[in-house]
Chain A
Amino acid sequence: MSGVEDAREGAVAGAAHVTAQHPTPNLDQLESGPWPSFVTGLKRLRDSGGKQYAAMMNDLLGQLEHSYTNRLGYWKGGTVSVFGYGGGVIPRFSEVADKFPESKEFHTLRVQPPAGYHYTTDLLRQMCDIWEEHGSGLIALHGQSGDIMFQGCKTENVQKAFDALNEIGFDLGGAGPALRTSMSCVGHARCEMSMYDEVKAHRAVINEFLDEMHRPSFPYKFKYKFSGCPNDCVNAIHRADFAVIGTWRDDMKVDQEEVKAYVASHGRKYTIDHVIAMCPTRALSLNDDDTLEVDNRSCVRCMHCLNVMNKALAPGDDRGATILIGGKRALKVGDLMGTMVVPFFKLQDDEDYEQLVEFARTIMEFFAENALEHERIGETIDRIGLPTFLAAVGIEPDPNMVRHPRTSCYVRTDDFTDEAEKYFERKREMAAE
C-alpha cells in the first residue's frame, strides 16, 4: 500500500491516544505472499490517522503479536448485550489490558445477513460508515454460522452500533443456548438445481421464532441451514440441527438431444467413465444411440449426473425438501451428521411453507422440553432412540430413515404385528390419495 507510510505519520501526529506503535515482527511476515493479508488490513486501521479506532487497533495489533509470540490467546468472555435482547453480542475483555489498554474491550456484534448473502455496494458502504463511527473498522464476511461479524467494539459503543445497524434494517443474530443465525445457499437467485424457494423458507422459519434467538432459553444451540439441492452448498447435514435439503420426487428430466451433444463433445468413454459409472446406485445406462436411460426408482438424487450434464439433465417437477435432524460438531459425544427424518416435505404453495414453519415449531418444542442442559438435539435422539423421537414429534417410520434395518436382536417385538398393520394401512391411504 503506497499510502501506508503517510498514514502512519498522520496517526502519530493526529491521535493523542496512539502512543508508540507496537512492533509486530511476527505479524509482518503475514503481509508477504499473493493472498490478501488480514494483517495489512489491521495495520491500515491502526494507521488511519484521526479515526476513533486507531489507538484501539494499535493495541489490538500489540495483543495479537503478543499471542503470536507466546502462542496463547488472551481474551475472556463476560456479559454485554443491547437493550431488549439477551444474546447476539460476543463479549471480549482482554486479559493483558495492562499492556494493551486501548483494546481492553473488543466485543463482536453478530448480525444476520440478507438471506443468500446479497448486498449492494450502497449497503456495504453504509455498514462501513456505521462501523467506522462506533467500532473498530474490522468486519468479517462471514462467520461460520453465517453472521456478519462486526468485530471490535467498546462496551459503551455496543448499543450505539446496534441502534445504527438496526435503523437500516439489520438485526442481531444468535449466540449461546438459543436459535442461531441461519444460512441459505444462492439457490433460486442463480442456480438451476434449486428445488425450493430458499429465501422464503429461511425467512419464514427464522423470523417466526426470533424470540428464541434474541432471548436465549433453549437447553443449547439450535441451528437451521437451507440448501436448495443435495450438493448442500451451506453444509447443512454436517452443521445444522435442522437441515432442509431440496429434492424432487418424480422422474428427472432428460433432454436426449443435449445428452447426444454431450457425448459427441466429450466422447463415449469419458461419458461412461465419468457420468454413467459414477452413479452410486447404477441407475444410469448409455444406450447404443448415445441417449440416456435412467432408472428413476433407483436414483438417490445424489446430483452427480445433473452437475456434470447440467444442460441435458434437470430435476423433476414434484419438488420439495428432505429434512435431516441432528447434525453438530465434536462436543460432547463426537461429530454427528443429521439423519433423515422427513424423506420428502412438499414445498410449493404458501401453505407448504406454513407447514414447514409448524414442523419446525414441533421439533424445537420437543428440543426445549426434552434435551438436557448443553445437549444438542442429535444427542437427545441418540439418548432416547430415533423411534421414541419419531413418536414424540408425530412422524411415522420410513425405510429411507435407515442405512439398513437393525442388526441387533435386543429389542422387544410383541406389538410387531400391530405396527406392521399400521404400515400397511398407511400404504393403503397413500395409494388412495
Chain B
Amino acid sequence: MSQAQTAEVRPRLPDEHGVPDPFQYMHPIMKKNYGNWDWHDRPRPGVLHHVAKSGDEVWTVRAGTQRQMDVGTIRQLCDIADTHGEGHVRFTTRSNIEFMVGDFAKVPALISALNANGYPVGGTGNSVSMISHTQGWLHCDIPGTDASGVVKSLMDMMHHEFTHEEMPNRVRITTSCCQINCGGQGDIAINVQYTKPPKINHDLVANVCERPAVVARCPVAAIRPAMVDGKPSLEVDESKCVCCGACYPPCPPMQINGADSTKIAIWVGGKHSNARSKPTFHKLVVANLPNNAPRWPEVEEVVRKILYAYKDNAKHFERMGEWIDRIGWPRFFELTGLAFTKHHIDTWVGARHNMNMSAHVRF
C-alpha cells in the first residue's frame, strides 16, 4: 500500500481530553461561589436550598430517573430545565437529576412540570433515594437477573418513601446482578446469589478459556485442569465449590446461571458514610428468594418488611446498621419475621471476628 493510500484510510487520532472541565457547564451561581458555601436547608422533600458566604442562594430540585434513558426522556428533561429551570442540571451518584435555579419562585412550577411528566421529586434528606444498580440482561455478559426490572419494581413500591422524608435516616439501597456486586454496599442490598456449581460445556473450554487463569480465579481452589472425553477442559470439585460465579467471566462455558438455580439474597446494614459509626459492609439476612421476573414479588415483600421494621423502630439519625447495632440481631430477625440459619454464620477468612466474643446477650 502506498503512503498516500495509507494516509487516506488512516482514522482520526483521538484528542485525549480526559476528564472534561465542568466549569463550562456549571450553574453560574455555583461557579461564582465555588468553594465558598456557608450552609443549607431543605424547604421540602426533594428541594435543597444552599446559601453561599456571599449571600447568594441556589435552590436544587431533585428528581428520580430510570437511569437507562432514551433520548426522548433526556430531551424532555432538558425541555423542563429550559422552560422552568435555568438550563443547568447535574446528576447524583444514584442517577437522580438535579435542576438548579437562582430564584425560589421558580421551584413550584419546576416541580409541577416534573410530576406532570412522571418524574418523582424527592430523594433528599431522610428518604429512600434511587437504588444504585447494575446492567442486567439488557447489557451485561454475566448477569443473573435484570437489575433495572428489580429496581423499577422496588421503586414503584417505595415511591412514597422517595418523595417524603419520613425515614429515621437516609436509606441507600443497591442491586447487583451477580456476586461481584457492582451495585455496591447498601442499607439494603438485593443481590444475585447463585446456588449451584457451574455447568461446564466441555466442548468449548479448551478454545474459549485460558485454563490456568480460570484455575487461579477460584477463591476456594475448587477448579482443576482435566481431560474430559479426550478434550482438555476443567473440572469443579463440587464439594468445595461456593457457587460464587468467579470462574464464569473468564470462562463463559462454565455457566453459573440457571433459570431456577440463580436466586436472590438480601443483605442489610452497609454504610458508606463515616457519620457517627465507621463505614460498614452489608450482612446477609435472606437467601434463596426466587428470581421471579418481571416483578420479583417475593423480593419486594422482604424489602418491604425490612424497610418498615426500620422505619417503625429506629431512632432519628440511626442508619439501618446502627439501628441493628442497638437492638441486636435477635430482635432484628424477630421484628422482620425472618429466619436465622447456619448460613448467617460467617465461614470466610476472618469469620471469628464476626462472632460474639463476649457474654453480652439479648433476650
Contacts and interface: CB of A to CB of B under 8 A. Distances in A.
Contact of B74 (A82, A128, A304): A128
Among B74, B92, B153, find the residue whose CB has the most chain A CB atoms closer than 10 A: B74
Contact of B82 (A121, A146, A330, A333): A121
A41 B152 contact: no
A121 B97 CA distance: 12
Given A68-B294, A329-B180, A330-B180, A141 B349 contact: no
A192 B20 CA distance: 24
Contact of A41 (B25, B72, B149, B218): B72
A35 B295 CA distance: 13
B141 interface: yes
Given A75-B140, A116-B90, A203 B18 contact: yes
A186 interface: yes
Interface string B336-349: 00000000000011
Contacts of A112: 18-20
Nearest to B152: A30
A177 interface: no
Contact of A171 (B17, B69, B81, B90): B17
Interface in B214-237: 216-219
Contacts of B363: none
Contacts of A210: 16, 18
A337 B281 CA distance: 9
Nearest to A279: B276
A407 B26 CA distance: 51
A335 B181 contact: yes
A386 interface: no
Interface stretch (A287-295, A305-313, A349-357): A305-313
A36 B66 contact: yes
B277 interface: yes
A241 B351 CA distance: 23
The prevalent SS among residues of B at the interface is loop
B55 interface: no
A119 B273 contact: no
B156 to A, nearest CB: 3
Nearest to A112: B19
A232 interface: yes
B20 A234 contact: no
A73 B146 CA distance: 9
Interface in A115-132: 115-125, 127-128, 131-132
B273 to A, nearest CB: 5
Interface string B261-272: 010000000101
Given A67-B137, A92-B141, A192-B40, A141 B11 contact: no
A39 B144 CA distance: 19
A218 to B, nearest CB: 16
Nearest to B260: A71
A214 B316 CA distance: 46
Interface residues of B, number: 118
Nearest to A76: B141
Contacts of B136: 73
Given A138-B68, A190-B60, A333-B219, A118 B120 contact: no
Interface string A85-108: 100001010000000000000101
B82 A114 contact: no
Given A34-B120, A235-B185, A374 B141 contact: no
B12 A331 contact: no
B73 A41 contact: yes
Interface stretch (B29-37, B102-110, B305-313): B29-37
Contacts of B153: 30, 33
Nearest to A172: B14
Contact of B18 (A85, A206, A301): A206
Contacts of A2: none
Interface in B156-205: 156, 159, 179-185
Contacts of A302: 274-276
Given A72-B259, A140-B67, A190-B58, A199 B294 contact: no
A262 to B, nearest CB: 12
B91 A308 contact: no
A142 B120 CA distance: 18
A35 B64 contact: yes
A185 B94 CA distance: 12
B331 interface: no
B154 to A, nearest CB: 9
Among B14, B71, B100, find the residue whose CB has the most chain A CB atoms closer than 10 A: B71
A159 interface: yes
Given A45-B70, A64-B137, A90-B139, 12 more contacts: A116-B26, A120-B24, A120-B25, A123-B25, A132-B71, A144-B132, A171-B20, A186-B90, A194-B35, A245-B274, A302-B274, A303-B275
